[in-house]
Chains A and B, each alone.
Chain A
């Protein structure tokens, strides 16, 4: 490394982070602390009087944050649980039984990584099943969309695990359910952590599929942000929009601060090998 680079690099890194990330985040925080009049035309100036807490409180009740938070959890938690269980069950068989049929099933199983889901007709199908607008319908749709990702990840991972461990348990008389539950699943922990991080990221922040499937009959955090903002843009309530953004992003920032190492290795896990 040249001496110039060693000197200049920290300065460049700090400057870039401050301008590129710092300014947008600064705008969010100061605007969320302003009164409606001050926030009419959001800028980078400090609020004359900080009223962040009042704004947060107003959004909390007007934006129905508790209900939306609960709605988001109601969708995300079962989705992750289903994806991890069913995805790794399928991936285990697909990785261990190399038949021609399984090669075809694997190709079908991972096709959803590339192919976009049919958002319009899924609504029709859910209506026919009586699941339109319900949490169960939403969970089913998310699970259908992201199963491909999980199957792809976990199958690749299972192939790197030697089968000897399973065989030892089989010789001791364990059936397939036992082997899967007691031997295979614990070994999959790293790849399941990766998958969980990614799925949470996508599902927690999704509005597009939620628009179609839920259509206002269940609150989730992003859907409510959209509602607050759509009303707010009309009324110029920038302080409330950004108060909602603060409220919604806070859990993620806390998780990132605590688990950054895990998240970084999770996101990059297996990408470049």
Chain B
């Protein structure tokens, strides 16, 4: 979840500063804004971000493991092996399903909360802070809380008077875990939607009401479309956050039952722990490519939807 709130703002002024007489200005800038100011940041980025990423493309094609010291190139063997036993496709599918479910739930919950708590009453302010507590809590702690709540003889089953294995269902547990993930982050989405609702001028809605639009109509045809920047930000962060997810799944199911909630990062963590470094690297590369392939089109698509409005 490294994406932060400014993601949507970028569509405003990113134009370079006006440079009336470029050459002279450039020479002056060289003295007043020296390039070496970039050096420390980019040195760290190079060593701790770009180099490991580059290594990903190398070591995914080797037999690097914890059992021997030599590292030899093996071509596509790791991928072939992961594809052959179905792990590759399954992990990718589970990660995508998880990401889509989280994006869906987190936005539904966040949007609902924002609409419910929109007015600036004291009660609503306090309620908003309540919903912000999970955002600040450790995801691991959130996972343990829900593991306890959802035990077969746990409180949720007691309250509902049923006997359902929430975290032991090979079909539906992934949905349950996605809801937990959404529960943790819905306060953040709520804040973004609240900020979005605040930016819409009242007179727009008044005008629509005078023109005879019903309250519901005014909401869905005017306010909702104007929330597009908030939607873009929330969907993008939820997708990225859940594709990089780990803690909540680890703390609730650990990838189970029968590995049906084993998203890529769980697989990477597990194989790394077993000393199968090359397989872990190969999956890490898969995650990298998956995010790179998906994130940019999704963000562009959402942006285009914004631009139409």
Contact = CB atoms under 8 A, between A and B. Distances in A.
A212 B272 CA distance: 8
A55 interface: no
A198 interface: yes
Contacts of A268: 5, 191-192, 194-195
Nearest to B193: A272
Contacts of A20: 131, 183
Given A90-B38, A105-B38, 7 more contacts: A16-B116, A114-B299, A118-B285, A145-B48, A212-B269, A249-B136, A268-B191
B48 A144 contact: yes
Interface in B252-305: 265, 268-269, 272, 277, 280-281, 284-285, 287-288, 291-292, 295-296, 299
Interface residues of A, number: 110
B123 interface: yes
A170 interface: yes
A25 B144 CA distance: 12
A272 B113 CA distance: 17
B38 A145 contact: no
Contacts of B47: 125, 129, 140, 144
Nearest to A2: B215
A112 B288 CA distance: 11
A129 B43 CA distance: 14
B155 A44 contact: yes
* Chain A interface, >50% SS class: helix
Nearest to B199: A272
B55 A12 contact: no
A211 B192 CA distance: 31
Interface residues of B, number: 109
Contact of B269 (A1, A211, A255): A211
Interface of B: 1-10, 12-14, 16-17, 19, 26, 29, 31-35, 37-38, 40-42, 44-45, 47-53, 55-56, 59, 64, 113, 116-117, 119, 121, 123-124, 127-141, 144-146, 148-149, 151, 153-155, 158-159, 183, 188, 191-192, 194-196, 199, 215, 229-230, 233, 240, 243-244, 246-247, 250-251, 265, 268-269, 272, 277, 280-281, 284-285, 287-288, 291-292, 295-296, 299
Contact of A27 (B5, B155, B199, B233): B155
B132 A272 contact: no
B282 to A, nearest CB: 9
A249 B2 CA distance: 21
A62 interface: no
A97 B146 CA distance: 50
A144 B132 contact: no
Contacts of A99: 26
A53 interface: no
Contact of B268 (A119, A140, A143, A229): A119
A188 interface: no
B262 to A, nearest CB: 15
Given A17-B130, A89-B41, A256-B132, A42 B33 contact: no
Contact of A92 (B14, B37, B192, B247): B37
Given A24-B146, A122-B52, A140 B136 contact: no
Nearest to B230: A272
Contacts of B130: 17, 21-22
B191 A97 contact: no
A143 B199 CA distance: 33
Contacts of A113: 2-4, 7
Contacts of B269: 208, 211-212
Given A96-B17, A270-B9, A153 B4 contact: yes
A256 B136 contact: yes
Contacts of A249: 136-138, 141
A118 B155 contact: no
Nearest to B280: A120
A23 interface: yes
11 contacts: A10-B121, A98-B17, A109-B42, A124-B277, A144-B49, A148-B45, A166-B32, A225-B140, A267-B191, A270-B6, A272-B199
